[in-house]
């Protein structure tokens, strides 16, 4: 047993202490924003929306052992945003003006880079290799478009001491992409200093809201789409806004979604082992800023907190109700007599075996996936530890309670397992172990098994259908050529397919490689993607002009805005009443 305990210790806590964002001093930034605020003439803004072209400019190249990976990661991030975000371009190239501040603390923009760029947002990227600091990467927007207030120049710093750790498997590479995506989103404008500059891009008017401060320091950001989506997701019709992180001070607090409420959403405040999600919440926030519009896409689906109501949103684990999202008996790392093995369970979304702990961001402990027991990481299989357990690691693996542990071989049995699974089109879950299929379509059931062969069996998850509906994995996490969103890879130019496994020298339409883009899509030469209609739009005449929205969205200024789910329910029940009369 000692070996396993040791291995829980070393991996788990080293990783959970690394916070991935600290912004540089914001004084200058704020000053600039205030200076510009009253001069903005939003009515002059060009009304057409184009795909965003992000450019990363190295101040110095990353070290050679990470250069290639960094280049690919940045390429993926550029392609991902180009495929998903629209922006109001400036006329002509982005020009670095001599009046701009060049000293940003983290870095000084050298004269040679104070030039013009054929792009919509430029990040100056600098490197360090520092074990003493606790961030992996950090970023901030620094220069803003004078009319819209949209970030046009940003700074980013990579701490290669940690970035290097994200090399090797497809799952590790995916984590590196997530880090840069996360940082880029701050650079795109998700940072608390900018909230007061957000505006309604249909009317070009500033929102009239105040950020609501809860007694416990959590703040609620009342931007319209984020608030509406949160109301719809959590099932609470009167939220004050999207709740932001209150822990870890400046740089983290205020500029991230609250971990206790949004859990593994990419824009929560720290790296989390297991599956981070890019959900509609982040897209909503980017649109709410007024700086961006979102194109048609499939986002990752969040299960955490779904339909749990106002009480969950407001009180999290302080509620009188006990929510399954949280655990109640955290492992105490300072108590030597405590044994982490006594605090294990599958993580809430079953992507790995977790230990109940407080990760430093949450008020409420939850099952934090132990990196070496992250079922989705193919590299985690270790013959000495797992022989006889029939464990399977990879994007198609999930955590289950129990396990088919061999009777004949001496093995560790920790009470939880990683096994291969599949979901059919009716969202029925099947577990596959050693070539045998076990039906897990009924929550909490225990499929029968060969008792001569195995010591014990498994217990199916409580919510197999929900898990199947939220599955959004891509084969081999897009093979280090793309980023998986909602089960679809966005691949760098030159690749296509479900897993970016095919070469493609023309355009990509979804996972297909095509010569010309089909109707209702628009060829984009920056990303080599066929860009669809605006998000949640059925038919459109351009990528920024919707003519008919999907159900539960309304057309506002050529784009689709979510309708409150609650009013829909209300309308239906009123109709039902009429019918009854
Ligand atoms: C608005 O932007 C579009 C696309 O970038 C461009 O073709 C058009 O000339 C711009 N119009 C004005 C008035 O600047
Ligand atoms: C922007 O303003 C328009 C016009 O008042 C309104 O219909 C729309 O709901 C607003 N958009 C958002 C996201 O609040
Ligand atoms: C902004 O909202 C406040 C409170 O709801 C209201 O009193 C004020 O008149 C509003 N201001 C504008 C310009 O709409």
294: which 2 tokens?
A: 């979102």
Q: Is 297 annotated as a binding residue?
A: no
- pLDDT tops 50 at residue 111: yes
- pLDDT tops 70 at residue 572: no
Contacts of 409 (CB under 8 A, 6+ apart): 387, 388
**Confidence tier at 486 by pLDDT (50, 70, 90):** very high
298: which 2 tokens?
A: 């499939």
pLDDT for 401 equals: 97
pLDDT for 248 equals: 65
Rounded CA gap, 62 and 161, in Å? 11
Among the candidates 294, 327, 354, a domain finishes at 294
User: 3, 385 in Cβ contact below 8 A?
Assistant: yes
CA 208 to ligand 3 center in whole angstroms: 6
Burial of 516 (0-12, 13-18, 19+ CB in 10 A): exposed
**Confidence tier at 128 by pLDDT (50, 70, 90):** very high
Residue nearest to atom 10 of ligand 2 (CA): 200
Mean pLDDT over the full length of the chain: 86
Query: How many domains is the chain built from?
Result: 2
- Name the CA dihedral angle for 565, 568, 569, 570, rounded to a multiple of 10 degrees: 120
Mean pLDDT of 147-170: 89
CA 266 to ligand 2 center in whole angstroms: 27
Kindly report the CA angle at 76 between 466 and 172, in degrees rounded to 5?
A: 60
Mean pLDDT of 294-306: 94
Rounded CA gap, 104 and 109, in Å? 8
- pLDDT tops 50 at residue 445: yes
- pLDDT tops 90 at residue 238: no
pLDDT for 363 equals: 72
Q: What is the SS3 assignment for 96?
A: coil
User: 316, 239 in Cβ contact below 8 A?
Assistant: no
CA 223 to ligand 1 center in whole angstroms: 28
User: 369, 351 in Cβ contact below 8 A?
Assistant: yes
Residue 302 is classified by DSSP as -
- pLDDT tops 90 at residue 567: no
pLDDT for 332 equals: 85
Rounded CA gap, 24 and 140, in Å? 8
**Confidence tier at 18 by pLDDT (50, 70, 90):** very low
Ligand showing the shortest atom-to-Cα distance for residue 86: 1
Atom number of ligand 2 nearest to Cα 203? 2
User: 300, 486 in Cβ contact below 8 A?
Assistant: yes
Rounded CA gap, 536 and 549, in Å? 6
Q: pLDDT by residue (tens digit) across 23-71?
A: 334 445 445 554 555 555 666 667 799 999 999 999 999 999 999 999 9
Rounded CA gap, 354 and 365, in Å? 11
- pLDDT tops 50 at residue 564: yes
Within a domain: 489: no
Rounded CA gap, 369 and 10, in Å? 14
Within a domain: 560: yes
CA 199 to ligand 2 center in whole angstroms: 10
3-state helix, strand, coil in the chain (%, to 5): 25, 25, 45
Q: pLDDT by residue (tens digit) across 510-547?
A: 999 999 999 889 999 999 999 999 999 999 999 999 99
- Indicate if 501 belongs to the active site: no
Among the candidates 252, 269, 294, a domain finishes at 294
pTM: 0.90
Contacts of 400 (CB under 8 A, 6+ apart): 346, 350, 416, 417, 418, 419, 431, 458, 459, 460, 461
- Name the CA dihedral angle for 108, 181, 27, 195, rounded to a multiple of 10 degrees: 150
Rounded CA gap, 272 and 204, in Å? 37
Within a domain: 415: no
Among the listed residues 36, 50, 81, 43, the one whose alpha carbon sits nearest the alpha carbon of residue 200: 43
Residue 286 is classified by DSSP as H
Mean pLDDT of 71-89: 97
Mean pLDDT of 266-271: 84
pLDDT for 209 equals: 83
Q: How many CA atoms lie within 13 A of 482 on its CB side?
A: 33
> What is 12-42 written as a DSSP string?
HHHHHT-B-------HHHHHHHHHHHTT--G
- pLDDT tops 80 at residue 284: yes
Rounded CA gap, 557 and 94, in Å? 27
CA 48 to ligand 1 center in whole angstroms: 7
User: 381, 395 in Cβ contact below 8 A?
Assistant: no
Question: φ and ψ at 495, to 5 degrees?
Answer: -135, 155
The number of beta carbons lying within 10 Å of the beta carbon of residue 36 is 15
Domain that holds residue 544: 504-580
- What Rg do the C-alpha atoms of the chain give, in angstroms? 24
Q: Is 182 annotated as a binding residue?
A: yes
- pLDDT tops 70 at residue 265: yes
What is the SS3 assignment for 413-468? CCCEEEEEEEECCCCCEEEEECCEEEECCCCCCCCCCCCCCECCCEECCCCHHHHH
265: which 2 tokens?
A: 């959403």
Within a domain: 142: yes
Residue 246 is classified by DSSP as -
Residue nearest to atom 13 of ligand 1 (CA): 46
Residue 567 is classified by DSSP as H
Residue nearest to atom 12 of ligand 1 (CA): 46
- pLDDT tops 90 at residue 417: yes
Within a domain: 47: yes
pLDDT for 6 equals: 33
Range with the poorest average pLDDT among 133-142, 177-186, 244-253, 532-541: 244-253
Helices (H) and strands (E) counted in the chain, each on its own, are: 12, 34
Q: What is the SS3 assignment for 140?
A: strand
Higher pLDDT: 161 or 252? It is: 161
Highest mean pLDDT among 104-118, 356-370, 412-426, 494-508: 494-508
Rounded CA gap, 270 and 175, in Å? 12
Highest mean pLDDT among 40-54, 201-215, 322-336, 523-537: 523-537
Pocket-testing residue among 48, 88, 522, ligand 1, by greatest number of atoms within 8 A of Cβ? 48
Among the candidates 267, 294, 321, a domain finishes at 294
What is the SS3 assignment for 184-234? HHHHHCCCHHHHHHCEECCCCEECCCCCEECCCCCEEECCHHHHHHHHHHH
Q: Residue 151 sits in a domain of what CATH number?
A: 3.10.170.20
Intra-chain end-to-end CA distance of the chain, in Å: 69
Residue 400 is classified by DSSP as E
Q: Is 186 annotated as a binding residue?
A: yes
The catalytic position among 183, 245, 258, 265 is 183
Range with the poorest average pLDDT among 9-18, 32-41, 118-127, 139-148: 9-18
560: which 2 tokens?
A: 């689709």
Rounded CA gap, 74 and 68, in Å? 10
Within a domain: 474: no
Ligand showing the shortest atom-to-Cα distance for residue 229: 2
Range with the poorest average pLDDT among 299-308, 340-349, 362-371, 572-581: 572-581
**Confidence tier at 3 by pLDDT (50, 70, 90):** very low
The ligand 1 site (C-beta within 6 Å) comprises 46, 48, 50, 89, 91
Q: Residue 575 sits in a domain of what CATH number?
A: 2.10.220
Within a domain: 94: yes
Rounded CA gap, 469 and 423, in Å? 9
Ligand showing the shortest atom-to-Cα distance for residue 205: 2
Q: Are strands 488-491 and 495-496 parallel, antiparallel or unpaired?
A: unpaired
pLDDT for 468 equals: 96
Rounded CA gap, 336 and 195, in Å? 45
Mean pLDDT of 443-468: 95
Q: pLDDT by residue (tens digit) across 339-396?
A: 888 999 999 999 999 999 887 666 789 998 988 899 998 888 888 888 888 999 999 9
pLDDT for 36 equals: 54
Within a domain: 115: yes
Mean pLDDT of 101-115: 90
Mean pLDDT of 245-256: 73
């Amino acid at each position: 047993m000692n070996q396993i305990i040791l291995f829980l210790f070393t991996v788990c806590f080293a990783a959970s202490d690394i916070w991935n964002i600290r912004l540089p001093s914001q004084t200058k930034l704020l000053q600039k924003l205030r200076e510009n605020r009253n001069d903005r003439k939003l009515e002059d803004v060009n009304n057409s929306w184009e795909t965003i072209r992000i450019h990363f400019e190295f101040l110095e190249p990353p070290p050679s052992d990470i250069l290639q990976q960094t280049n690919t990661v940045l390429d993926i991030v550029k392609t991902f945003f180009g495929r998903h975000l629209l922006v109001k371009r400036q006329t002509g190239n982005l020009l670095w003006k001599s009046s701009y501040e060049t000293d940003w603390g983290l870095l000084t923009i050298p004269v040679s880079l104070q030039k013009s760029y054929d792009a919509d947002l430029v990040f100056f990227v600098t490197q360090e290799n520092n074990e003493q600091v606790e961030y992996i990467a950090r970023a901030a927007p620094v220069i803003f478009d004078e009319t819209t207030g949209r970030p046009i120049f940003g700074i980013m710093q990579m701490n290669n001491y940690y970035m290097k750790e994200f090399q090797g498997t497809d799952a590790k590479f995916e984590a590196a992409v997530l880090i840069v995506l996360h940082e880029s989103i701050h650079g795109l404008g998700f940072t608390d200093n900018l909230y007061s500059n957000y505006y309604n891009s249909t009317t070009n008017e500033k929102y009239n809201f105040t950020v609501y401060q809860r007694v416990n320091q959590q703040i609620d950001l009342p931007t319209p789409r984020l608030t509406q989506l949160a109301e719809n997701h959590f099932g609470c019709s009167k939220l004050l806004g999207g709740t932001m992180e209150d822990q870890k001070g400046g740089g983290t607090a205020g500029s991230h979604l609250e971990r206790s409420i949004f859990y593994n959403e990419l824009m929560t405040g720290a790296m989390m082992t297991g599956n981070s999600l890019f959900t509609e919440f982040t897209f909503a926030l980017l649109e709410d800023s007024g700086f961006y519009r979102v194109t048609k896409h499939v986002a990752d689906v969040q299960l955490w907190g779904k339909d749990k109501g106002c009480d969950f949103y407001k009180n999290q684990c302080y509620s009188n109700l006990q929510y399954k999202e949280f655990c109640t008996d955290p492992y105490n790392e300072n108590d030597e007599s405590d044994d982490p093995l006594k605090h294990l369970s599958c993580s809430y979304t079953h992507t790995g075996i977790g230990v109940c702990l407080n990760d430093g961001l949450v008020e409420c402990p939850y099952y934090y996936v132990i990196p070496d027991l992250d079922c989705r990481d193919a590299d985690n299989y270790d013959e000495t530890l797992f022989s006889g357990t029939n464990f399977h690691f990879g994007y198609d693996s999930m955590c289950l309670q129990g396990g088919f542990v061999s009777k004949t071989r001496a093995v560790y049995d920790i009470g939880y397992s990683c096994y291969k699974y599949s979901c059919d089109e009716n969202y029925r879950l099947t577990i596959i172990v050693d070539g045998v299929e076990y039906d897990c379509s009924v929550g909490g059931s225990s499929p029968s098994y060969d008792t001569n062969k195995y010591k014990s069996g498994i217990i199916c998850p409580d919510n197999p259908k929900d898990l199947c509906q939220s599955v959004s994995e891509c084969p081999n996490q897009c093979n280090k050529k793309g980023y998986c969103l909602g089960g679809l890879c966005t691949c760098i130019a030159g690749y296509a397919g479900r897993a970016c496994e095919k070469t493609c020298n023309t355009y990509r339409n979804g996972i297909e490689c095509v010569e010309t883009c089909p109707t209702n899509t628009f060829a984009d030469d920056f990303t080599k993607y066929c860009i669809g209609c605006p998000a949640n739009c059925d038919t459109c005449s351009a990528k920024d002009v919707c003519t008919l929205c999907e159900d539960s969205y309304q057309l506002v200024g050529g784009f689709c805005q979510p309708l409150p789910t609650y009013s829909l329910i209300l309308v239906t029940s009123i109709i039902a009443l009429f019918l009854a009369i």
